[in-house]
Amino acid sequence: MQQGSGLEMLIILAVFGVIFYFMVFRPQSKRQKEQRNLLSSLSKGDEILTSGGLIGKITKVSAEDENIVIALNDNNEVMISRNFVVATLPKGTMKALKP
């Protein structure tokens, strides 16, 4: 009986390992890959949303630098790190949000 219970324990651990892989590890690596693709595809004129809640249009992108410059409106520009970009927005979003 000792050998049977040890084998059952290994099978249970293997099942939990597979569940952990498909429920935690795989979705996380997929999100990281999507974020890397988003950051590498940023270009001038894209409207973006930052993790701080700022919405702006990219006015300057530097290939060797990790910073981008975004225009919040006609008068204000802000330099931020690329890593703070959460999403790109459809064209015209900023105009639709203006009061």
Check whether residue 4 and residue 25 sit in a common domain. Answer: yes
What does pTM read for this prediction? Answer: 0.70
Check whether residue 57 and residue 93 sit in a common domain. Answer: yes
Check whether residue 34 and residue 74 sit in a common domain. Answer: no
- Give the total number of structural domains in the chain: 2
Check whether residue 54 and residue 93 sit in a common domain. Answer: yes
Instruction: Annotate the chain with DSSP letters as a single string.
Output: -HHHHHHHHHHHHHHHHHHHIIIIIHHHHHHHHHHHHHHHT--TT-EEEETTS-EEEEEEE-SSSSEEEEESSSS-EEEEEGGGEEEEE-TTHHHHH--
Check whether residue 46 and residue 36 sit in a common domain. Answer: no
Check whether residue 30 and residue 52 sit in a common domain. Answer: no
Residues 33-86 have pLDDT tens digits of: 999 998 888 889 999 999 999 999 999 998 778 899 999 988 999 999 999 999
Q: Which domain holds residue 16?
A: 1-40
